[in-house]
């Protein structure tokens, strides 16, 4: 004799697994909880922890970030040394893990005699161009 349909058994199993995961998560150490932080905050903290001393610049860099990609990009091009902080901000502000503007820029510098400002424009993530036509003002 069956005690329930296949669908209800799967539902009970999934619900039980969710409760177990929640209970196990309650005892997770603080370092694992850091992964639960907002990506903007994680990006900001990474930028400051890795040597960026200007909190305003770190805020501008990581505002709206969906990962630590903007901070990693910024630190990578700053370490290379050919960009000012403002140019690095312009290049990296909207970086994502999928498009690596720092690698693009560094490759362009190595393989051509491209001017710095042109390399920054060439390698910026596409969202930067869209924002030129739709500026967002925060007060």
Angle between helices 116-123 and 85-92 (to 10 degrees): 20
Confidence band, pLDDT 50/70/90 cuts, at residue 13? very low
pLDDT digits 0-9 by tens, 41-83: 999 999 999 988 899 999 999 998 999 999 999 999 999 888 9
Q: Given its phi and psi angles, is residue 51 left (phi above 0), alpha (psi -120 to 50 degrees) or beta?
A: left
Overall pTM > 0.75:
no
User: In this structure, are residues 91 and 77 in contact, taking their beta carbons and an 8 Å threshold?
Assistant: yes
Angle between helices 69-80 and 101-111 (to 10 degrees): 30
18 pLDDT higher than 60: no
């Amino acid at each position: 004799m069956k005690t329930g349909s296949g669908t209800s058994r799967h539902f009970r199993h999934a619900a039980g697994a969710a409760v177990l995961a929640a209970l196990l998560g309650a005892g997770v150490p603080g370092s694992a909880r850091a992964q639960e932080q907002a990506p903007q905050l994680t990006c900001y903290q990474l930028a400051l922890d890795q040597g960026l001393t200007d909190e305003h610049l770190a805020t501008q860099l990581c505002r709206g970030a969906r990962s630590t990609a903007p901070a990693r990009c910024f630190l990578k091009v700053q370490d290379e040394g050919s960009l000012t902080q403002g140019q690095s901000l312009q290049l990296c502000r909207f970086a994502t893990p999928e498009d690596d503007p720092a690698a693009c820029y560094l490759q362009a510098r190595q393989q051509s005699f491209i001017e710095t400002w042109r390399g920054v424009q060439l390698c910026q993530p596409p969202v930067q161009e869209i924002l030129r036509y739709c500026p967002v003002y925060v007060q």
